[in-house]
Amino acid sequence: MKKFVNDVETVLSESLDGFAAAHADIVVLGPERKFVRRRSLTHGKVALISGGGSGHEPLHAGFVGLGMLDAACPGQVFTSPTPDQMVEAAEAVDTGAGCLFIVKNYEGDVMNFEMAVEMAGRKVLTVVTDDDVAVENSLYTTGRRGVAGTLVVEKMVGAAAEAKAGLAELQTLGQQVNSQTRSMGVALTSCTVPAAGKPTFEISDDEMEFGVGIHGEPGRRRVRLEKADRIAEDLMAPILADLAIRPGTPVLLLVNGFGGTPAMELYLMFDSAKRLLDNAGAILARSLVGPYVTSLDMAGCSLTVTVLDDVLIRLWDQPVHTAALRWGA
């Protein structure tokens, strides 16, 4: 294992210290590093709180700031944060309008966030994201996994929250965006969890894991490496089928890197995916390319498509100022 590490026991704490120092104009690190919150809170606005295991950076702490999250709770690598982290985050950022938890559909995350709702002693609603079309059930989930589409939900709901939308309205919006979002990923290599010191799974140089999860969970199948256009076709086909996109439908296309894939290859995949959307008659209204929901050092990517309308386009275009996403602010 070759990584920039002092001690595997302190990787997360040192990383959070560095993150908070590098973005001190945007975020503050909570007591005992239990959460990251906005430096400046807006009173009377619903507080948006998310979280999950570390190793997916910039998700979620990188999306704390204007136009997105008010707080994020980091668990250990690929491990859910604890309910007390979520409760303390809610106490720190709730300014009176209630809290919305945005939770990826993994059993540990869902269970701990549900416990936090019961413990919080305040008004809290939840949106669960489950955009991965690769498998219905996996090692960590009952039902579909929440993956890169979580970013889209956080951005849309974050924009509406800045406009002072109410708690129930934001929950409905988050559920709508999630229902109109589908993702699928492919891994070319495994990832290496620092504490393990070796790859999560073995894969040959001429193989790829199709439909892989963001923790290295198995996907639909292990297959021979194909050309990029063919990979894009295999990823996009179930997404398009699941969304039942009609000609003339505006969409957002997110090509997300898993941490070990260069930008040149991500943009090549974007080109392949865009041509498939064009062939399906979809209108590419908005796009995003980059490593936003990663799996440590895994080489690979995911494609995410969200069906848009005029309201969602306006929400996507609203200003955002976070460590990982910035425009219009």
Token pair of 227 as six digits = 């050309």
d(C-alpha 35, C-alpha 37), whole Å: 6
Query: According to the model, what pLDDT value does residue 138 have?
Result: 64
Q: Domain spans of the chain? A: 19-179, 181-327
Using alpha carbons, list the distances in angstroms from residue 211 to 54, 197, 239, 302. Answer: 21, 24, 12, 9
Residue 179, C-beta contacts closer than 8 angstroms, at least 6 positions apart: none
Active-site residue, selected from the candidate residues 23, 43, 60, 215: 215
Instruction: Let me know if domain 181-327 sits in CATH 3.30.1180.20.
Output: yes
Question: 19-179 with 181-327: one CATH topology?
Answer: no
Query: According to the model, what pLDDT value does residue 140 have?
Result: 61
321 in active site? no
Query: According to the model, what pLDDT value does residue 143 have?
Result: 82
Token pair of 193 as six digits = 């969890």
d(C-alpha 151, C-alpha 140), whole Å: 20
Contact 51, 104 (CB under 8 A): no
- Closest listed residue to residue 306, CA positions, set 283, 322, 272: 283
Query: According to the model, what pLDDT value does residue 122 have?
Result: 95
State pTM to two decimals: 0.96
Architecture of domain 19-179: 3-Layer(aba) Sandwich (3.40)
Token pair of 33 as six digits = 């590093």
**Residue ranges of the chain with pLDDT lower than 70?**
137-141
d(C-alpha 255, C-alpha 247), whole Å: 21
43 in active site? no
Give the number of other CB atoms < 10 A from CB of residue 285. 18
Give the number of other CB atoms < 10 A from CB of residue 277. 20
Active-site residue, selected from the candidate residues 23, 43, 56, 60: 56
The chain-wide mean pLDDT, for the chain, equals 95
